Amino acid sequence: MTSLSNDVLLESRGLTVRFGGLFALNELNIDVRNGEVLGLIGPNGSGKTTFLNVISGVYSASAGKISLGGIDITREKAHNISSYGLSRTFQRSRLCLSLSVFDNIALGAQRTLNNGLWHNVVQRKAFAAEARKIAEEARELLGVFNTALPDKLFDPAISLGMIDRRRVEICRALIGKPKLVLLDEPSAGMTHDETDQVVDEILGIRKSLGGLTIIIVEHEMGLIERVTDRCVVLNYGKKICEGKFRDVAADPVVREAYLGQA
């Protein structure tokens, strides 16, 4: 256990990730506050997705420490970290396209299920009741998007367009009632109009699920500007700036990192 301010949900200290002789993250210190939307930005290869991968247990840290809600998760496996209240989406779709929308979303509810496999085999009524509960929650989440998605709950995921597939992935990340959600490039592969829709929908999700903490990695700066409370800028695995979007966007060090000149 570690002592954290009540205002801080996630804390990294000296977080370092090496791939051979390359530092993907280099002694990175980041605090994520309860209830905020934090934007993680920086040039390609700056370490943004690596940070998400290491705090979610996809990669192991070479050095340093990560705490989530006061629990040291530095050496925990991904499924254990999920049980502590962290969920995520990925840059590329991770939907099982041959399964239904419901099946895909239900995969995200595993950590909140009350019963194990054997109980579900022998107690079919209890299992059916739990499945109905998940279906109701899935419809409620899909309803946040103000689309026809709730009516497509049992349609195959392969029948959905790109933006609806992304919506389903976001619902899968939310169904387990996480404390912290990581959104990795939520606008990837979308048109400008679709990106605007995603912005509005993330704002709607935040409003309907008050208290949710979100980290967004995104190249679309219009999205970052509209949805984030604060930004952290990375370059070569180091934090070079943090603050409100308007302040980091005007910082000469950030401009140099993006543009190659001040």
SS (H, E, C) 31-77: EEECCCEEEEECCCCCCHHHHHHHHCCCCCCCEEEEEECCEECCCCC
Q: 142 pLDDT exceeds 70?
A: yes
CA distances from 151 to 63, 139, 143, 191, 208 (A): 47, 8, 9, 24, 20
pLDDT of residue 2: 40
Q: Is residue 74 part of a domain?
A: yes
* Residue 209 pLDDT level (bands cut at 50, 70, 90): confident
Same domain, 204 and 159: no
With a pLDDT cut of 90, the percent of the chain lying above it is 67
Q: Which domain holds residue 262?
A: 1-85+178-262
51 pLDDT more than 70:
yes
Helix or strand run (H / E) with residue 26 = strand 22-33
Together in a domain, 190 and 164: no
Would residue 53 count as lying in a domain? yes
Q: What's the confidence (pLDDT) of residue 183? A: 95
Within a domain: 92: no
pTM > 0.85: yes or no: yes
pLDDT per position as a tens digit, 61-109: 999 999 999 999 999 999 899 999 999 999 888 899 999 999 999 988 8
177-187 per-position pLDDT tens digit: 899 999 999 98
Together in a domain, 5 and 59: yes
By three-state DSSP, how is residue 124 classified? helix
Phi-psi region of 94 (alpha: psi -120 to 50; beta: other; left: phi over 0): alpha
pLDDT of residue 1: 36
Do 30 and 151 sit in the same domain of this protein?
no
Q: Which two tokens stand for residue 128?
A: 């059916």
Is the pLDDT confidence value at 118 over 60? no
Last residue of a domain, one of 176, 209, 230: 176
| Domain stop point among 176, 208, 239 | 176
What is the b/e burial string over 167-200, where b = at least 16 CB atoms within 10 angstroms of the residue's CB?
A: bbbbbbbbbbebbbbbbbbbbbebeeeebbbbbe
Residues 63 and 59: their CA atoms lie apart, in Å, by 12
pLDDT number for residue 127: 64
Same domain, yes or no: 190 and 237: yes
Q: What is the mean pLDDT of residues 210-227?
A: 92
Same domain, 256 and 183: yes
Instruction: State the pLDDT at residue 202.
Output: 87
pLDDT score at 188: 87
Q: Are 35 and 159 part of one and the same domain?
A: no
- pLDDT band of 210, cuts 50, 70, 90: confident
Of 149, 176, 203, the residue at which a domain comes to its end is 176
Q: Which of these ranges, 31-35, 155-159, 207-211, has the smallest mean pLDDT?
A: 207-211
> Is there a single domain that holds both residue 114 and residue 134?
yes
Do 80 and 182 sit in the same domain of this protein? yes
Question: Is residue 147 located within the same domain as residue 189?
Answer: no
Question: Number of folded domains in the chain?
Answer: 2
SS3 at position 27: strand
pLDDT computed for residue 77 by the predictor: 93
Q: What's the CATH number where 250 sits?
A: 3.40.50.300
- Does residue 91 lie in a domain region? no
